[in-house]
């Protein structure tokens, strides 16, 4: 059985669909359907079972999940709303829950690939996105909750308490299919598309953070590339070890981005090529984001390459075109 937490969410549902494309249907989807819109992400997906996140967590704690063999766990479940300031909730949901999943994976001797985030880097500038302590300065409790679990994993590895695959992937600015339910937390690709369809105009921020109008830069990474990374480290399907059943063991925390920042204006132009002509206008930068906004992100891929992954990532224009194909 393959377990995908957050399996009805943006990245999790894309994982489920890709597992299906690999011929795998023996999947347990774990999620919270308080937002029932997520059900649309699983249209056409095939999976064996479903558990509510709270039920799954309780079952793990009581050793009552009842799965004889777990092939791999993809832990995508978390509160990803960077504007949530309830620290107690965020730490329980993103840190304590993740520790439960890690313990369970270790007990099952199953590979665990989990979602971390580039939010741990806070206001880092160019050249400061390597996963080292000096660069890790999150701006909000979301980034902090993810960073603390990364610390926990790295400490467990360093002290020899983990012998199986455990890899944390620090996702940069993810975009692609099945993110419509995320509302304000959806990618700018989603928001700009909505603006084009409703008003024929894309609204970009005026200059801020030392960047000109629309020139703020992010590392935009296509969701299907992140799915490939998850399958690579868990060695599933096409990514399984060639020539035998023995799995390689991967351990560590690595950046998951393209390694190349692109401007918001680049995104707007890529979308105009797909959706047709639209005007670009510049709006004042929101005051409520000034202290918590990353004007620049760009993954340093040294850590990812050191783990043995040499993927070539999808170019922004190609990913945008495929998203709306």
**Domain boundaries in the chain?**
2-174+220-259+294-313, 180-216+260-289
Between 81-90, 262-271, 299-308, the lowest mean confidence (pLDDT) is in 81-90
| pLDDT score for 182 | 82
- For residue 2, the cross-strand partners are 27, 72
Which of the residues 2, 142, 171, 250 is marked catalytic? 142
> How far lies 281's CA from each of 86, 139, 196, 263, 295, in Å?
35, 28, 12, 15, 18
Task: Say yes or no: domain 2-174+220-259+294-313 is CATH 3.40.50.720.
Answer: yes
What is the tens place of the pLDDT at every residue in 192-205? 999 999 999 999 99
What is the rounded CA–CA span in Å between residue 175 and residue 319? Answer: 8
| pLDDT score for 275 | 96
Extended beta strands in the chain, E state: 2-5, 27-31, 49-52, 72-75, 112-117, 166-171, 173-175, 201-205, 217-218, 220-222, 251-256, 262-263, 279-283
What is the rounded CA–CA span in Å between residue 107 and residue 63? Answer: 10
182 catalytic residue (yes or no):
yes
| pLDDT score for 283 | 96
> How far lies 161's CA from each of 18, 147, 157, 164, 306, in Å?
31, 19, 6, 10, 21
For the chain, the straight-line distance linking the first and the last C-alpha, in angstroms and rounded, comes to 32
CATH code, residues 180-216+260-289: 3.90.25.10
| 95-121: average pLDDT | 97
Helices (H) and strands (E) in the chain, counts: 10, 13
| 254-259: average pLDDT | 98
Helices (H), 22-136: 53-61, 87-90, 97-108
> How far lies 143's CA from each of 32, 85, 230, 289, in Å?
21, 11, 20, 15
What is the tens place of the pLDDT at every residue in 152-186? 999 999 999 999 999 999 999 999 999 988 888 88
Between 52-56, 78-82, 134-138, 299-303, the lowest mean confidence (pLDDT) is in 78-82
What token pair was written down for 294? 């990353």
pLDDT of 82 higher than 90: no
The closest alpha carbon to 229, from 254, 203, 247, 194, belongs to: 254
What is the tens place of the pLDDT at every residue in 17-73? 999 999 999 999 999 999 999 999 999 999 999 999 999 999 999 999 999 999 999
| pLDDT score for 180 | 85
Pair 209, 293: CB distance under 8 Å = yes
Read off the pLDDT band of 245 (50, 70, 90).
Answer: low
| pLDDT score for 244 | 53
Which of the residues 38, 53, 146, 182 is marked catalytic? 182
> How far lies 91's CA from each of 171, 205, 297, in Å?
19, 31, 24
Read off the pLDDT band of 242 (50, 70, 90).
Answer: low
3-state helix, strand, coil in the chain (%, to 5): 40, 20, 40
């Amino acid at each position: 059985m393959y377990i995908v937490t957050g399996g009805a969410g943006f990245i999790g549902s894309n994982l489920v669909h890709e597992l299906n494309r690999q011929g795998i249907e023996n999947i347990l989807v774990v999620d919270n359907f308080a937002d029932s819109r997520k059900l649309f992400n699983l249209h056409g997906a095939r999976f064996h079972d479903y558990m509510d996140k709270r039920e799954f967590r309780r079952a793990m704690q009581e050793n009552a999940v009842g799965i004889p063999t777990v092939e791999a766990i993809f832990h995508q479940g978390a509160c990803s709303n960077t504007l949530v300031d309830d620290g107690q909730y965020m730490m329980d949901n993103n840190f304590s829950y993740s520790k439960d999943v890690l313990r369970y994976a270790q007990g099952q001797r199953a590979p665990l690939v989990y979602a971390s985030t580039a939010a741990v880097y806070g206001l880092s500038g160019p050249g400061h996105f390597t996963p080292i302590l000096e660069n890790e300065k999150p701006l909000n409790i979301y980034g902090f909750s993810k960073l603390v679990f990364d610390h926990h994993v790295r400490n467990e590895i360093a002290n020899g308490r983990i012998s199986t695959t455990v890899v944390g992937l620090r996702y940069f600015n993810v975009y692609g299919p099945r993110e419509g339910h995320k509302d304000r937390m959806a990618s700018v690709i989603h928001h700009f598309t909505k603006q084009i369809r409703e008003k024929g105009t894309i609204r970009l921020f005026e200059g801020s953070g030392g960047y000109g109008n629309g020139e703020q830069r992010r590392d935009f990474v296509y969701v299907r590339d992140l799915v490939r990374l998850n399958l690579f480290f868990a060695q599933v399907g096409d990514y399984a070890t060639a020539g035998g059943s023995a799995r390689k063991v991967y351990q560590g925390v690595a950046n998951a981005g393209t390694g190349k920042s692109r401007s918001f204006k680049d995104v707007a132009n890529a979308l105009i090529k797909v959706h047709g002509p639209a005007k670009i206008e510049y709006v004042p930068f929101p005051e409520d984001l000034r202290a918590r906004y990353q004007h620049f992100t760009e993954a340093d891929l040294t850590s990812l390459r050191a783990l043995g992954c040499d993927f070539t990532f999808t170019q922004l224009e190609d990913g945008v075109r495929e998203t709306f194909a």
